[in-house]
Amino acid sequence: MADIKIELTDNVIINHVGLTFLAKFLNDTLIFSRINRVSKFKKNTGFISDYDVVKTAITLITLSKTSFEDVEMYRDDKYFKKVLKLKTVPSSVTIRQRIETYDEDMWSVLRQINVALIQKYFKEETVEINGKYYLVVDSDVTPMDNSDTQKEGVAKTYKLFNGFAPMMSYVGRSGFMINNELRPGDYHSNCEGTLKYFRQTVELSKQLGSYPLLSILDSGNDDKKLVLEFKQDNSEFIIKRNLRRESKDKYIEYAKEYAKIHGTSEKVYPGCMKYYSNWIRDIGKESIPIAVVVTEKTIKKGQPMLMPEYDVEVYWNSLDLKAKEVEELYHKHGTMEQFHSEFKSDLDLERLPSGKFSSNYTIMLLGMISFNLLRIAGKVLLETKKVPGRRGNRLRLRTVIQNIMYMAGQFIDHARRCKLKIFRGYKWAPAFTLII
C-alpha cells in the first residue's frame, strides 16, 4: 500500500456541518429574546450578551463538549461564528463567569425556551389507552457519578458512589425532556421540593397540548401527599407502591382469589403463574384504585421448589385500568433508562463541569435544551425516509451527533455569500439536505 501524503490547505474544512440545522433554532430571536428580559448583558451593548453565551454553551453541549475550556478551539472558527451569528465567540472565562451569575429567573426562561422548542415538533407523541389519547410523562432520579471531586452538592448516592441525584422528566413517544432538577447526591426521590417540581413539570407539559397527562413514577415517589396532589389536580398517574413493612401475604391471597373468580391469571412460562387483580384503597377522603400483580414461581433452574416464591407489584392507578394494562404501561417506563444514558453519556454530562452547584444547575437546563434539539434533529431525519440502515422509532442522540453534527464539509465565504460543500457519496447527506 502506497504511503499517504499529507498536505496543508487554505480551504476551510469543517467537521461540524450539523450546526447549520441547529442554528435555525438557536438564532430564532422570537424564542431567545426571552433571555434579554432577565439578562444583565443584552445584545448591542458593547459586551458579549448573555444570549450569545447561552447560545454558545448549548451548541457546545450538542457537540458533546462540556468543559468550559472546549470553547477555545472554536474562537477562531469562521464557520462557527457565521452560522451562530456571533461577532465574537465567548471565551471559556466569560462562559464560566456568566453561568455563575444565572439564577432562578434565568432557569425559568430556559425551561420556557425548552417548551417552545418542543411545541413545534410535538406531533404523534400521544399514547392511546382504551380509546383515549394521553401524554405520558415519565420521571425518575438518575445518579450521576462525580467521584473524586470537591464539587458543591456531591455526596454518596443510593448507587454508593459520590455524585449528584437529579430528577429528570420526559414526555411523549420520542422521549423529549420536559424538565430536570439537579439535586445533591444524598437526596432521595421524595426530598423537600418534590411536590413543587412535579407541579412545575405538569404545568410545562400542559403547554404541549390539550391531551390529558399520565404521569408514571416508580416506588421512590410513593407518597401520600404526591398521590393526593395529582388527584386534586385531575392529573392521571400510575405510581408503583413501596410496600415497605407492609405484609405481602394479603396481596398474594387477594390476587389469587380475584384471579380465580375473574379469570385473570396466566402462565408466563413453565412453573411461573401471574395473577392480576384490582382493588380500591382509601387515602383520607379519597378512594383510589390500585392494581396488584403477583408472580408465583414453583420451578427454579429447572428444579421444582419445595415452597413457591412470590413477587408482588402494587400500583396506584388513577385511570382504574386492568392490572395487566397497568403493568404493561409501567414496564414501558423503563425506556427512560436509555434517555438517562443519552443525557449522561452521549452528551458527556455525567461529570458536570463546575465546582458550584448553581452553575451545574444551569448546565443541566442548557443540557436539556441541547438534548431536545438533537432529538428534534433525529425525528425530522427519520421523517425524510432517507436515513441509511435499519432504524427504529427514534434515533439515539449519539447517532445524530456522530453522523450529522460531526459531518465534514468545506465552508466557502466569498463575495458576501456562504456555501457548504458536502461529499455527495456520504450516506447521510441526502437526509441532511432535506432538513435544512
389 and 304 inside one domain: no
59 with 106, same domain: the answer is yes
33 within a domain of the structure (yes/no): yes
Q: Are 117 and 177 in contact (CB under 8 A)?
A: no
Considering the domain boundaries, does residue 168 fall inside one? no
With cut-offs at 50, 70 and 90, classify the pLDDT of residue 1: low
Q: Cell numbers at residue 170, please?
A: 420526559
Flag whether 338 is in a domain.
no
Q: What is the pLDDT of residue 2?
A: 66
DSSP for 230-289 reads HHHTT-EEEEE---TTS-SHHHHHHHHHHHHHHT-EEEEETTEEEEEEEEEEEETTEEEE
* 286 band by pLDDT with thresholds 50, 70 and 90: confident
Residues 368 and 409 in one domain: yes
pTM: 0.94
Residues 31 and 105 placed together within one structural domain of the fold: yes
Q: Is residue 217 in a domain?
A: no
**Domain housing 282:** 241-318
One domain for residues 277 and 365? no
Last residue of a domain, one of 275, 302, 318: 318
Contacts of 327 (CB under 8 A, 6+ apart): 276, 291, 293, 313, 315
The secondary structure of residue 72, as a DSSP letter, is G
Cα–Cα distance, 109 to 204 (Å, whole number): 12
Encode 328-343: b = buried (16+ Cβ within 10 Å), e = exposed: ebbeebeebeebbebb
The per-residue pLDDT for range 2-48, each reduced to its tens digit, is: 689 898 888 889 999 999 999 999 999 888 889 999 999 988 778 99
Same domain, 280 and 357: no
Question: Domain ends where: 267, 298, 318?
Answer: 318
Rounded CA separation 236/179 (Å): 18
- The pLDDT of residue 431 is above 90: yes
pLDDT in tens, 185-228: 999 999 999 999 999 999 999 999 999 999 999 999 999 999 99
- Residue that finishes a domain, picked among 265, 297, 318: 318
Number of domains the chain contains: 2
Confidence tier at 240 by pLDDT (50, 70, 90): very high
291-307: per-residue pLDDT in tens?
Answer: 999 999 999 888 999 99
User: Is 295 a member of any domain?
Assistant: yes
Q: Which amino acid is at 173?
A: R
Q: 99 in a domain, yes or no?
A: yes
- Contact call for residues 238 and 289 (beta carbons, < 8 A): no
Buried b vs exposed e over 292-313: b needs ≥16 C-beta within 10 Å? Answer: bbbbbeeeeeeeeeeebebebb
Nearest to 55 by CA among 116, 103, 113, 122: 113
pLDDT band, residue 232 (cuts 50/70/90): confident
Q: What are phi and psi of 129, to 5 degrees?
A: -130, 115
Please check whether residues 313 and 355 belong to one and the same domain: no
Is 325 within the bounds of a domain?
no
Give Cα 216 to chain centroid, integer Å. Answer: 14
Same domain, yes or no, for 311 and 359?
A: no
On whether residue 73 sits in a domain, the answer given is yes
**Mean pLDDT score of the chain:** 94
CA distance 254 to 236: 25
pLDDT tens profile 130-189 = 999 999 999 999 999 999 999 999 999 999 999 999 999 999 999 999 999 999 999 999
